[in-house]
Structure 1
């Protein structure tokens, strides 16, 4: 079975759920400290599950989050955040710009503000004007970072990989 990475999880939910070895390998890599940086669809994939048309599909299970989809945008437009918690990719105080465009909804989350590394200055984020789920060397956020305007992104990714 092919690996479905870099797509919208909501369009490949059945294939992702069926690919147990892939889901397990991603969860195991995260548990073992492999640096993982995920945006939007990657964030969803790292969740526990997604509910589509009344059916729940298991995902990687790195984060205790269940998602669903709305018919209306839940985050749409330019965004900006400031890093206010230690994480493997961005130094504290870093300000980053990007954008959000999503229809996904956080149905349930067994976490709290201490599990989110980023304070939204503009945009919706994950919950409560915060973004950036954090666990070990994994950072997953709804914000699509404007990489050319954020050299900290590439430097952080390389640093995390070197340290690993």
Structure 2
């Protein structure tokens, strides 16, 4: 696998029937290792180790319906009330992060309504804040750190 522009982590690999699998700490099982999965696993650990997001608030490969079609999000971070907080679209390192990449993630987020959206290909990532009320967005210089008091609440 390619070296990424994300911090290394202590990953576990296993080989079965000449196929390589990586242990996913969120799904708690070995999953087939594709280039996109390599990026996803690095980004999961990046969010856990640098930004302090708890594993319990993350879900890899979650399902949703968009225009009555089944779709899968690569990674979603939830707030403490179980509402989507960040939608993350992971791509292979050879995939350019273009407008089309953002549009794909935005389609998923149209359903989920998370306030943050990230696209990542392992070499670079972009994070933006989505204002669903005013239907606008703003690119951020960094990913927001986990801060339980910043998450939405129904007081």
Band of TM-score, shorter chain: under 0.3
TM (normalized to structure 1)? 0.24
Report the TM-score when normalising by structure 2: 0.25
Q: Which has the higher helix share?
A: 1
Which of the pair has the greater relative contact order for Cα pairs under 8 Å at 6+ separation?
Answer: 1
